[in-house]
Homo-oligomer: A and B are copies of this chain.
Amino acid sequence: MDTSSTKPRRSARTPDRILDVAQRLMQTRGYNGFSYADVAAEIGVRKASLHHHFSTKAALGAAVIARYTARIAEALAEIDAGEPDAAARLVRYTRLYTGVLTQGRLCLGAMLAAEIGTLPQPMQAAVRKFFQANLAWLEAVIERGRSTGALAPQGTDAEAARVLLCGLEGAMLIARPLKDIKGFRVTARALLAGLGRRG
């Protein structure tokens, strides 16, 4: 999932800059691994100023995941609009992940999934929504691919969607400790191959 920001121009409004920095820190260090002090230092304001825009850390976290999910939805809609072929749609989907990983980031959903038990309740619900949206889109694409003959996965559409989502999120998760982005690309390709005609 890219969508780190459409254009991280310095002239962005302060709330957006806060969201950008908070999102990057959440994707690299986790929700429990960053503080208002980190964000403030990077934006160039004082901690207290952040509270004017996002009253609590929980509110900031919720805003970040909400924007992230919305941007993913936009990205998926763009893929649908630009790619008629199901297999090509999935390739573009995996490229979203590659984009994030090459920035040294983890998918925000994956990071928050790991921390799920420590998150404020609204964020927990948002994480769940995020994965459900991804699964729903993938399932629809796979269904389409099966009907046109572009894809022939084993098992149900829902199962194939989940295998792909879990495989990509897991590959991203593991790529960073292994310091092996190339391995992620290979794994992503193998996952797509598994959905192919001979799958």
Contacts and interface: CB of A to CB of B under 8 A. Distances in A.
Interface of A: 28-30, 32-33, 106, 110-118, 124, 127-128, 131-132, 154-155, 159-160, 162-163, 165-171, 173-174, 176-179, 183, 186-187, 190-191, 193-194, 198-199
Contacts of A169: 170, 173-174
A190 B155 contact: yes
Nearest to A132: B178
Contact of A190 (B116, B124, B163): B163
Contact of A191 (B113, B114, B163, B174): B163
Given A170-B169, A170-B170, A162 B176 contact: no
B162 A118 contact: no
B114 A163 contact: no
Given A33-B32, A127-B177, A178-B128, A166 B170 contact: yes
A193 B117 contact: no
Nearest to A198: B154
Contacts of A168: 166, 170
A159 B186 contact: yes
B155 A110 contact: no
A110 to B, nearest CB: 6
Given A114-B110, A115-B30, A176-B113, A166 B165 contact: no
Contact of A154 (B33, B176, B183, B194): B194
Contact of A177 (B116, B118, B166, B179): B116
A133 to B, nearest CB: 12
B128 A159 contact: no
28 contacts: A28-B117, A30-B30, A30-B115, A32-B32, A33-B115, A111-B114, A113-B173, A113-B177, A124-B177, A128-B177, A128-B179, A131-B174, A131-B178, A154-B190, A154-B194, A155-B193, A159-B186, A159-B187, A162-B183, A163-B190, A163-B191, A166-B166, A166-B170, A166-B171, A166-B173, A167-B167, A170-B170, A173-B173
